[in-house]
Structure 1
Amino acid sequence: MEKKVARREFMREREQRYLEKRSELDESLEEVFDRQTLMSLYDMLNTKKLKEVRGVVSSGKESRVYHGLGWNGEEYAVKIYLVSSAEFRRNRLPYVVNVPRFKKIPKDFRRFVYLWSEREYSNLSDSYNAGLPVPKPFHQHRNILVMQFLGEKGVRLPLLHEEKFELDELEKLYERLVDVLGRMYRNAGMVHGDLSQYNIMVGRGLEVYLIDLAQAVRRDHPLAETFLRHGTQVLCGFFNKAGLRVDPASTLEMVRRGA
């Protein structure tokens, strides 16, 4: 009986904290996310993993990224996967073949999204620890991922396709990307499963950063070589269109074996 009373009291206090935090967040959060996602977000706020969640940094069909702040003023990217995207599960199945975490594909869609969020956190951790230029991951809870904010004062770095570059800048970007992809393949044993100009960020000094690593797979994945070949073709297509002549076959060879 005492346990039941204590449990009810805990739930009542949790609900009260939920209501208090609810008024502090942007109304757009409530318009987009379901109650369970909001509760998960408030848990992160209550446990001081985050101090504040601000406006949307980027938005897609399957997730949204918000600008977050920590208690010491540090900036975070708060990625929240939507649990109402009908195509999410179907589009992700090729990436989870032979993956231990997905040995048994959850029938429950929400659980699948939670595992996908865990997957991105794990891939980011492995890549960051291998010295690759990716956002440093900090926290992951259910469908929420908190990572390093690539940008300053709430303004994210531009994506590769959003900027225009001179020929010498394109050459430098190409060389750096080939180097990063090669180290990812040869040293970290991973392949970005959905590489394109839409998930590469560029810093002021032409530094390159890979994002959206949930799709990354290990080199022993049955589709790893297919993903690698497709990614290099897409990347070369971007550079060729921008004015820098590069060859997909040569690029693929440099990634595999080194320049």
Structure 2
Amino acid sequence: MKGGVEDLEKKLQQKEYRKERQQRYLIKRSELDESLEEVFDQKTLLSLYDLLNTGKLRQVMGVISAGKESRIYHGISGDGVEAAVKIYLVSSAEFKRNRLQYVVDDPRFKSIPGDFRKFIYLWSRREYANLVEAFEAGVAVPKPLAQKENILVMQFLGEKGMRYPLLVEESFEYDELENILRHVVENLRKLYHGAELVHGDLSEYNIIVAKDLKAYIIDLAQAVKTSHPLARQLLEKGTSTLCNFFNKHGLKCEPDYILQEIVGKGDCK
């Protein structure tokens, strides 16, 4: 009899927990509706609710950055840690045309959809795949957490909702710049040899510097495999852009030398 009562109490507790969880979800959904429905279409909102309802996200809060093609929100992951929620907009007509060159010849995505929305979904999956491969190769990138349709959830690089600065946003001493450059090159080498990827749009705007001067590589959506026809061109362009920044700030940086440091080493996993 005692066991039956305990089982009944347990079932009631579970029922109350499910009811409470559903109520929290409905509240979150209501709050999201008010703040996001003017920006995102219904399909995007449903994908966001699904991430919340399945426990991959606990909360979505304020905007970290807003561009013409995507918005990044501060959130809390299912594990209770700070997360960045990147949501691609589905209203930019030039999106596919500007990015098709990166997807063509990518062996991981052989079928390129003609539908605009589905192409954005593919682009989001591709960025997630690049992050996974880079992270597993030991590259300092945001840890990928979840992906659904045009939404990407990853580690938030910052503290208490405040993002760490981009390389271009902060002033550094000479020795600090040396350390940052060395760390960036190490990561690009790991990216090249470990993940077999080349960052497709490397610049001072795609590097985040933490308090301990650890440099994180971000925005890997345009990264291509080292076997891609554009890989060498993109790598040379990236190293040139990188050196231009450091040279302007008094640190000697030669693109050919940096290129050799990245490509000329062995497996750096």
Q: With structure 2 as the length reference, what TM-score do the two structures score?
A: 0.86
Give the CA deviation at 1:46.
Answer: 1.4
Match of 1:116 among 84, 107, 123: 123
1:154 matches 2:143? no
Tell me which amino acid in the other structure corresponds to 1:59.
A
Give the CA deviation at 1:29.
Answer: 1.4
1:90 matches 2:97? yes
Match of 1:204 among 196, 211, 221: 211
Aligned match of 1:11: none
Tell me which amino acid in the other structure corresponds to 1:171.
E
| Distance (Å, rounded) in 1 between the aligned partners of 2:242 and 2:33 | 37
Aligned match of 2:241: 234
Match of 2:179 among 164, 168, 172: 172
Is this contact kept in 1: 2:25–2:52, CA < 8 A?
A: no
Tell me which amino acid in the other structure corresponds to 1:172.
N
| Distance (Å, rounded) in 2 between the aligned partners of 1:230 and 1:41 | 36
5+ residue gaps, structure 1: 1-15
Deviates more, 1:45-54 or 1:93-102: 93-102
Give the CA deviation at 1:182.
Answer: 1.3
Is this contact kept in 1: 2:61–2:74, CA < 8 A?
A: yes
Is this contact kept in 1: 2:96–2:119, CA < 8 A?
A: yes
Deviates more, 1:203-212 or 1:19-28: 19-28
Deviations 1:59-105 (A, max 9, x none): 22211110111355311111101111111101101101212354332
Aligned match of 1:25: 32
| Distance (Å, rounded) in 2 between the aligned partners of 1:116 and 1:47 | 23
User: Which SS does the other structure have where 2:153 is aligned?
Assistant: strand
Match of 2:200 among 154, 176, 193: 193
Give me the identity figure in percent: 62
1:41 matches 2:48? yes
Match of 1:67 among 74, 87, 94: 74
1:221 matches 2:258? no
Deviations 1:165-204 (A, max 9, x none): 1111111111111111112112221111111111110011
Structure with greater Cα Rg: 2
Count of residues paired in the alignment: 244
Match of 2:252 among 224, 245, 248: 245
5+ residue gaps, structure 2: 1-22
